[in-house]
A and B are shown apart, each in its own frame.
Chain A
C-alpha cells in the first residue's frame, strides 16, 4: 500500500536512447527545465535503471542497442512501465526496414504508452507520463 502511493507520487525516470537522433532526448531534458518542470510531479531523472520506475525509450532499436535494451528492461524493478517517446520508438519512423534496425521497441518489450511526434513535444511527454502514473495508481 505504501509502495503503491509512493510510486504514484514520485515515479523515478530512466531515459534510454536506443539510437535516436537526440531530438527527443533534448525534449526530455526540456521537460525537466523550468517551463514544464515535471519535478513538481515528483519525477526525477536517475542514472541507473535499478532505481527507476518508468523507462523512457527513444529511438528505433538498432541491432547494437537491442541487447542493452533487453538487459535494462530486466534490470528495472517490478512493477515497471515503459513509455515510448517519439515516432522512431513507436514504429521506427523513416528508418523502417533499415538494414541495422531490429524493429520498434514494442516488438521486444511490453510498452504502456506511446507519445507521438517527431520530435515529441514536452507537453505530450507529460501526458504520456500521466498515463504511466495511472498504471501505478491502479496498482497493475
Chain B
C-alpha cells in the first residue's frame, strides 16, 4: 500500500508525458500523397486537355483578348490527379502541402493568365507550341513551321 501512495504523490509533481499538440508535431503527409493540383502558368499552353478530363468541372479556360484565362475552383476539386496524368507539358503537379484550410471561400480560387502567340500568316492568336515541339523533336531543335500557324492557315495550300 505504501509504495502505491508514494507513486501517487510523485505523480502530482511529474510533468505530463503526453506530447504538446500543435500543427508542427503532427505526423507528416506520406510521399506521393494526392493533394490539390498546382498549376504552373509558365509551362501551360492552354490546350484544354485538363479541362476535358476533369470530372468535377474545376478548370475553366476562356480567352480574353490576347491571353487565355486559366481559372480553377479548387473548392470543387476531388484531387483525383486526372489533370496531372494527362497534361502534355507537365504543367500541373500535386501540392507538397496536400490540402489547405480557409475561412474564406475565395482562397480556393486560382486565376492564371497564359500568353498566346500570333499565327505566322494571318495574325490570329494561337497557343505557343514550343514545349510540345521540344518534347516531340528534342530540346533545342527549331520549331517546325506548321506548329506556328493557326488551323485555318494550315489547311490552305
Contact across chains for A116 and B36 when beta carbons are under 8 A apart? yes
Total interface residues in chain A, CB < 8 Å: 30
Contact across chains for B26 and A116 when beta carbons are under 8 A apart? no
Contact across chains for A113 and B29 when beta carbons are under 8 A apart? no
In the bound assembly, the distance between CA atoms of A112 and B105 in angstroms comes to 10
B60 to chain A, nearest CB (A): 13
Q: With A40-B18, A87-B77, A123-B29 in contact, do A116 and B57 touch (Cβ < 8 Å)?
A: no
Chain A residues closer than 8 Å to B80, beta-carbon distance: 118
Nearest CB in chain A to that of B26: its residue: A123
In the bound assembly, the distance between CA atoms of A93 and B105 in angstroms comes to 13
Q: With A36-B26, A92-B76, A96-B57 in contact, do A115 and B21 touch (Cβ < 8 Å)?
A: no
B123 to chain A, nearest CB (A): 39
In the bound assembly, the distance between CA atoms of A133 and B105 in angstroms comes to 19
Tell me whether chain B's interface is mostly helix, strand or loop, or mixed: loop
* A81-132 interface (Cβ within 8 A of B): 87, 90-94, 96, 106, 112-118, 120-121, 123-124, 126-128, 130-131
Segment among B1-9, B96-104, B112-120, B141-149 that sits at the interface with chain A: B96-104
Q: With A90-B108, A93-B76 in contact, do A116 and B18 touch (Cβ < 8 Å)?
A: no
Q: With A40-B18, A87-B75 in contact, do A115 and B101 touch (Cβ < 8 Å)?
A: yes
Q: Does B55 contact A (CB under 8 A)?
A: yes
In the bound assembly, the distance between CA atoms of A128 and B18 in angstroms comes to 22
**A-B pair number, CB within 8 angstroms:** 86
Chain B residues closer than 8 Å to A36, beta-carbon distance: 26-27
Q: With A38-B21, A113-B101 in contact, do A123 and B27 touch (Cβ < 8 Å)?
A: yes
Most chain A beta-carbon neighbours within 10 Å: one of B19, B35, B101: B101
Q: Does A35 contact B (CB under 8 A)?
A: yes
In the bound assembly, the distance between CA atoms of A115 and B75 in angstroms comes to 9
Q: Does A72 contact B (CB under 8 A)?
A: no
* B85-107 interface (Cβ within 8 A of A): 98-103, 105
Given contacts A87-B77, A93-B77, A131-B101, 19 further A-B pairs with CB under 8 A are A36-B26, A38-B21, A40-B19, A87-B78, A87-B79, A90-B75, A91-B73, A94-B78, A115-B101, A116-B75, A116-B99, A116-B100, A116-B102, A117-B98, A117-B99, A118-B79, A121-B29, A123-B27, A130-B23
